[in-house]
Amino acid sequence: MSVTADALAIGEPAVLRTSGVVRRLARNPTVVFGVFILGFIVAMGIAAPWLANFDPAAINPSFRNKTPGAMESVRVDDGVRSEVRHWMGTDSLGRDVASRVVYGARASLLVGVSVAVIAVGIGLAVGLAAGYVRWLDGVVMRFMDGLMAIPAILLAIAVVSLSSAGLLAVIVAIVIPEVPRVVRLVRSIVLSVREEPYVEAAIAVGTPTLPLITRHILPNTLPPLIVQATYICASAILIEAILSFLGVGIPAQTPTWGNIMAEGRTLFRVYPHNILYPGIFLALTVLAVNLLGDGLRDTLDPRMRKRL
Amino acid sequence: MLAYIARRLLATIPVMAIVAVLVFSMLRLTPGDPAAIIAGAAATSQDIIDIRARLGLDRSIVAQFFVWIGNVLTGDFGESFFFKKQVAALIADRVGPTLALATTTMILSVLVAVPLGVIAAWKQGTWIDRIVMGFSVLGFSVPVFVVGYVLIYIFAVELSWLPVQGYQPLREGLWGFLQRLILPSLTLSVIYIALIARITRTSVLEVLNEDYIRTARAKGLPDRVVLMKHALRNAAVPIVTIIGIGVALLIGGVVVTESVFSIPGLGRLTVDAVLARDYPTVQAVILLFSAVYVLLNLVVDVAYTFLDPRIRY
């Protein structure tokens, strides 16, 4: 385990040059494809109240387990009846799957982005400290080795089980297994950059620690961290869905893709749409984030090509 | 060599000790009194006090840790709150299906992924390469259980070729055993194949640029020999490394796959134990999986010396 993370992150990464990077990214078809899908999903999450035909939580006992495309006659406020379509059918409680899928985008994106930001933030701070303060290094890294020895999903499941299920618990549970990977990455960059002549020169002329870190060391960690954050986001979205699916994630009444699929498990053989539709959206979203990550990696940090 | 193995084995001790401390303290920090959970709803407060004394829960947390770790080292993981049974016996009951699933998945994944990666590297930039790489990115993006349900729907529900769910031990017949393992193994191997194929391609690509490959080609060796003997042999170290690291993915996948296919293994046990707040079982299973993961990666490190004689310790 310990071999690769260090071995793969050596070398001094390119410093960010924003305009050039954006231009190069825009020329990469996989990135454009990823951004396009992601934009679509984000827009769907934002526009959920207008896109959804039904209240995603509304239970309708008389209209359960309908196949996709089923029409329901609904009474609108002024008493007029009108036909409304259940684009993806209804689940075993009569809730509209399409509305739940549309709202589900919010939970997935929220978890993905917050896990990525928090994990990278904590990992960056700890990694800088471990790489810079020598006596901390041993202690911190042994602790991280211990954390990394526990398979991520198991650790996440165990952490969630400790507290009452909720969005925050899920985010914390996914952040914890991701942090050690960020710490390793940051630390290995700090260790290699610290030996660079310009850093030694900066130390020699008496640059105080804080400016030294922010001006000389931090910029080197950014390109690989941005790439890493994208991959963490993708895996966080997947793990959130897995937790919900196993019944230990965000509370079941909240519309998340994992919850919709968990609900559809029992009647899957007869009504596969409850798993199929959220599954497609979930896979597309993760795929888009992964493609974006691959593009960012090739552009920002060609030496990291070896990584997943 | 032996000294190296011994040194590495010793180095795993602190890692496992940290895992033990983490697992122990994590589950003891939780709100809720295990004694009250065991005692059940009808218990009197004296019952709870008795159970606390019996489990040693009335002692200090540090003392509890050392009692617990001492017991764990002698194979005693305590009694399951939920299954009312020794955790060690519970694990022994459940380990078979998980071992079968993990082994078949690993064999299947390596057999499929390594050739795919080699071909993709050899045909770099062609449509074969694109398909392999496309599959690889997709494999990372589709959640394990969605793959599982899609496979169930196609092969078990629509085509009725294979059973939908369940598990049958090997002693009740080889075919029944394999038949029920095909879909779960396929499901679980998707992400593993994606991972291994991707690394195989990258590391073979790197080797293909080496001078000795050009020499081998120049002296007229067939592509097959160049790829398998010269390229793959030299690209083996990163591939074996990723197989070891991928075990973490495999373990996570086992938990999900066993739930999808109703396989009574350790993964299903983990989920059940977590849902029932059965902390002794959760602790034991996490420790066990982590130990397996750490030890397998130790085996991988040792395997380097056999795969690449240039690596010496």
Q: How many CB pairs under 8 A join A and B?
A: 160
Residue A13: per-residue pLDDT? 46
How many CB atoms lie under 10 A from the CB of residue B262? 13
Q: Cα–Cα distance between B94 and A119 in angstroms, integer?
A: 34
B137 has a pLDDT exceeding 80? yes
Chain A nearest CA to B13, separation (Å): 10
Written as one letter, the residue type at A154 is L
Segment A144-155 mean pLDDT? 88
| pLDDT-derived band at A120, boundaries 50, 70, 90 | very high
Written as one letter, the residue type at A292 is L
B292 has a pLDDT exceeding 60? yes
Q: Which residue has the tokens 């009452």?
A: A164
User: Shortest CA distance to A167 belongs to which of A226, A103, A115?
Assistant: A115
A10 has a pLDDT exceeding 50? no
Q: Cα–Cα distance between B116 and B132 in angstroms, integer?
A: 7
User: Is residue A234 less than 8 Å (CB to CB) from chain B?
Assistant: yes
B250 has a pLDDT exceeding 50? yes
A16 has a pLDDT exceeding 70? no
For A124, A184, A187, the CA distances from A132, given in Å and listed in that order, are 12, 13, 8
Backbone φ and ψ of B161, nearest 5°: -85, -35
3-state SS track over B179-224 = HHHHHHHHHHHHHHHHHHHHHHHHHHHHHHCCHHHHHHHHCCCCHH
Position with higher pLDDT, B3 vs B30: B3
Residue B105: per-residue pLDDT? 94
B145 has a pLDDT exceeding 80? yes
Question: Between the CA atoms of A190, A194, A196 and A202, what dihedral angle is there, to the nearest 10 degrees?
Answer: 120
- Taking a contact as any Cβ pair under 8 Å apart, which residues of chain A between 92 and 121 contact chain B? none
User: Cβ distance A156 to A177 under 8 Å?
Assistant: yes
Which residues in chain B have Cβ-Cβ distances shorter than 8 Å to A275?
Answer: 146, 149
A171 has a pLDDT exceeding 90? yes
Would you mind telling me the total number of residues written for chain A in this entry?
308
A146 and B270 within 8 Å at the Cβ level: the answer is no
For A64, A298, A307, B165, the CA distances from A124, given in Å and listed in that order, are 49, 22, 19, 44
Query: 3-class DSSP state for residue B71?
Result: helix
Backbone φ and ψ of A72, nearest 5°: -125, 140
Can you spell out the DSSP letters for B232-291? Answer: IHHHHHHHHHHHHHHHHHHHHHHHHHHHHTT--SHHHHHHHHHHTT-HHHHHHHHHHHHH
Segment B228-246 mean pLDDT? 85
ipTM of the complex: 0.85
How many CB atoms lie under 10 A from the CB of residue B136? 25
User: Cβ distance A102 to A129 under 8 Å?
Assistant: no
| pLDDT-derived band at A238, boundaries 50, 70, 90 | very high
Question: Which residue in the set B14, B140, B143 is minimally distant from A282, CB to CB?
Answer: B143
B15 and A145 within 8 Å at the Cβ level: the answer is yes
Residue A8: per-residue pLDDT? 40
Residue A298: per-residue pLDDT? 81
User: Cβ distance A71 to A85 under 8 Å?
Assistant: yes
Residue B312: per-residue pLDDT? 64
Q: Which residue has the tokens 């700890």?
A: A126
Residue in chain B lying closest to A247 (CA): B275
Work out the mean pLDDT of chain B and round it to a whole number.
85
Looking only at the bridges linking them, the beta strands covering A70-75 and A81-86 are antiparallel
Residue B190: per-residue pLDDT? 93
Backbone φ and ψ of A82, nearest 5°: -145, 155
Q: Please state whether the predicted TM-score (pTM) of the whole model is above 0.95.
A: no
Q: What are the tokens at B208?
A: 């293909």
Q: Cα–Cα distance between A87 and A103 in angstroms, integer?
A: 14
User: Shortest CA distance to A277 belongs to which of A252, A263, A300, A260?
Assistant: A260
Q: Which long-range contacts (CB under 8 A, 24 or more apart) does B156-164 make?
A: B156/B183, B157/A269, B157/A272, B164/A269
Vertex B191: Cα angle to A307 and B141 (nearest 5) = 80
| pLDDT-derived band at B313, boundaries 50, 70, 90 | low
Can you spell out the DSSP letters for B149-170? Answer: HHHIIIIIIIS--S-SS----G
Best residue in B124, B138, B239, B274 to probe A by mutation, most A CBs within 10 Å? B274
Q: Which residues lie across from A73 on neighbouring strands? A: A83
Which residues in chain B have Cβ-Cβ distances shorter than 8 Å to A154?
Answer: 251-252, 255, 270, 285-286, 289-290
Vertex B127: Cα angle to B123 and B133 (nearest 5) = 80
Segment A185-204 mean pLDDT? 87
> Within 13 Å, how many C-alpha atoms sit on residue A56's CB side?
24
- Per DSSP (E only), the strands in chain A are 70-75, 81-86
Backbone φ and ψ of A165, nearest 5°: -60, 135
| pLDDT-derived band at B33, boundaries 50, 70, 90 | low
Question: Between the CA atoms of A77, A78, A79 and A83, what dihedral angle is there, to the nearest 10 degrees?
Answer: -60
Q: Which long-range contacts (CB under 8 A, 24 or more apart) does B177-185 make?
A: B177/B100, B180/B261, B180/B263, B181/B100, B181/B101, B181/B104, B183/B148, B183/B151, B183/B152, B183/B155, B183/B156, B183/B261, B184/B101, B184/B105, B184/B148, B184/B257, B184/B258, B184/B260, B184/B261, B184/B263, B185/B101, B185/B104, B185/B105, B185/B108
A1 and B297 within 8 Å at the Cβ level: the answer is yes
Q: Which residues lie across from A74 on neighbouring strands? A: A82
A183 has a pLDDT exceeding 90? yes
Residue in chain A lying closest to B153 (CA): A269
B34 has a pLDDT exceeding 90? no
Q: Cα–Cα distance between B55 and B78 in angstroms, integer?
A: 9
Q: What is the pLDDT of residues A27-86, one digit of tens each?
A: 888 888 889 999 999 988 888 788 777 777 777 777 677 777 666 767 666 666 677 776
User: Cβ distance B243 to A3 under 8 Å?
Assistant: no
A254 has a pLDDT exceeding 50? yes
A146 and B274 within 8 Å at the Cβ level: the answer is no
User: Cβ distance B276 to B82 under 8 Å?
Assistant: yes
Q: Cα–Cα distance between B64 and B71 in angstroms, integer?
A: 11
Question: Which residue in the set A161, A268, A276 is minimally distant from B274, CB to CB?
Answer: A161
Residue B217: per-residue pLDDT? 84
Would you mind telling me the total number of residues written for chain B in this entry?
313
Which residues in chain A have Cβ-Cβ distances shorter than 8 Å to B261?
Answer: none
A6 has a pLDDT exceeding 70? no
